[in-house]
């Protein structure tokens, strides 16, 4: 048994596939590709195919890591070719490589958010991000129950740059991600809209990559 990381791009209409849909899609692709998977032991064995960090619905991505454990002697190149031949429209195999880091090492995600421009919008967003106070309500846990809690989005932003380009406003942000802390780009947009008083018209959201706590690529 050995572990590999399959990196997928998810674009176009595929951004509307839920995490559960993506799991089913990946399992179907693996079976169609004839890849020999390693199964867990015990009463209910199941194949080890795990998405490192589920993607929010409606968000595109250039690199979604999927951890897989294999049996047999298939090489990474074999897996790349076999999966590439069976992936549906909108999902592309970017790379297949040996796993070198664990999913719990993910600390940040890089996002590119494109908004329809409006007079003064870029400056308003810059001021909101620089204010240090960007409140939002996030669903969390209170004991065994789920409850809304107040957060400050600024505490969960590693960096953010705002530019005007081709009639749009582009936000490139590094946001907390992973098992400890997580800020959705969609929640960030809600907070920015409330802070600026502007109705933000989102054109696209793209996750560019995942980072470890030292800001090195996952």
The neighbouring-strand residues paired with 86 are none
Q: What is the pLDDT of residues 30-59, one digit of tens each?
A: 999 999 999 888 788 888 899 989 898 999
Question: At which residue do the structure tokens 């309500």 appear?
Answer: 137
Average pLDDT over residues 101-129: 96
Is 104-212 assigned to CATH 3.30.2350.10?
yes
| pLDDT of residue 143 exceeding 70 | no
Average pLDDT over residues 129-150: 84
CATH class, range 2-100: alpha beta
Supply the pLDDT for residue 146.
Answer: 76
On whether the CB atoms of residues 106 and 171 are closer than 8 A, the answer is: no
Q: At what angle do helices 19-33 and 76-84 cross, to 10 degrees?
A: 110
Q: Cα(96)–Cα(53) distance, rounded to whole angstroms?
A: 17
pLDDT above 70 as % of the chain = 98
Q: What is the pLDDT of residues 153-200, one digit of tens each?
A: 999 999 999 999 888 999 999 999 988 899 999 999 999 999 999 999
Query: Which tokens is 24 given?
Result: 């089913």
Q: Cα(62)–Cα(200) distance, rounded to whole angstroms?
A: 24
Domain boundaries, the chain: 2-100, 104-212
Question: At which residue do the structure tokens 């070198």 appear?
Answer: 100
Q: Is the dihedral of CA 170, 19, 102, 6 positive or negative?
A: negative
For 69, the 3-state DSSP assignment is strand
Q: Cα(87)–Cα(83) distance, rounded to whole angstroms?
A: 6
2-100 matches 104-212 in fold: no
Q: Cα(124)–Cα(73) distance, rounded to whole angstroms?
A: 56
Question: At which residue do the structure tokens 């003064």 appear?
Answer: 120
Supply the pLDDT for residue 142.
Answer: 65
The neighbouring-strand residues paired with 210 are 109
């Amino acid at each position: 048994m050995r572990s590999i990381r399959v990196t997928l791009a998810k674009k176009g209409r595929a951004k509307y596939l839920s995490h559960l849909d993506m799991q089913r899609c990946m399992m179907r692709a693996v079976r169609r590709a004839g890849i020999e998977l390693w199964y867990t032991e015990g009463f209910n064995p199941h194949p080890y195919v795990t998405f490192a960090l589920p993607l929010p619905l409606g968000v595109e991505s250039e690199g979604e890591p999927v951890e897989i454990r294999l049996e047999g002697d298939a090489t990474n190149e074999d897996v790349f070719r076999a999966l590439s031949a069976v992936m549906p429209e909108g999902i592309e195999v970017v790379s297949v490589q040996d796993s070198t880091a664990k999913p719990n090492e993910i600390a940040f995600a890089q996002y590119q958010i494109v908004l329809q421009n409006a007079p003064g919008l870029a400056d308003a967003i810059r001021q909101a991000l620089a204010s240090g106070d960007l409140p939002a309500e996030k669903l969390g846990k209170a004991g065994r129950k789920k409850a809304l809690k107040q957060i400050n989005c600024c505490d969960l932003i590693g960096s953010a740059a705002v530019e005007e380009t081709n009639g749009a406003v582009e936000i490139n942000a590094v946001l907390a991600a992973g098992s400890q802390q997580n800020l959705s780009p969609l929640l960030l947009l809600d907070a920015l809209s409330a802070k600026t008083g502007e109705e933000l018209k989102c054109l696209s959201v793209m996750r560019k990559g995942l980072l470890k706590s030292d800001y090195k690529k996952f």
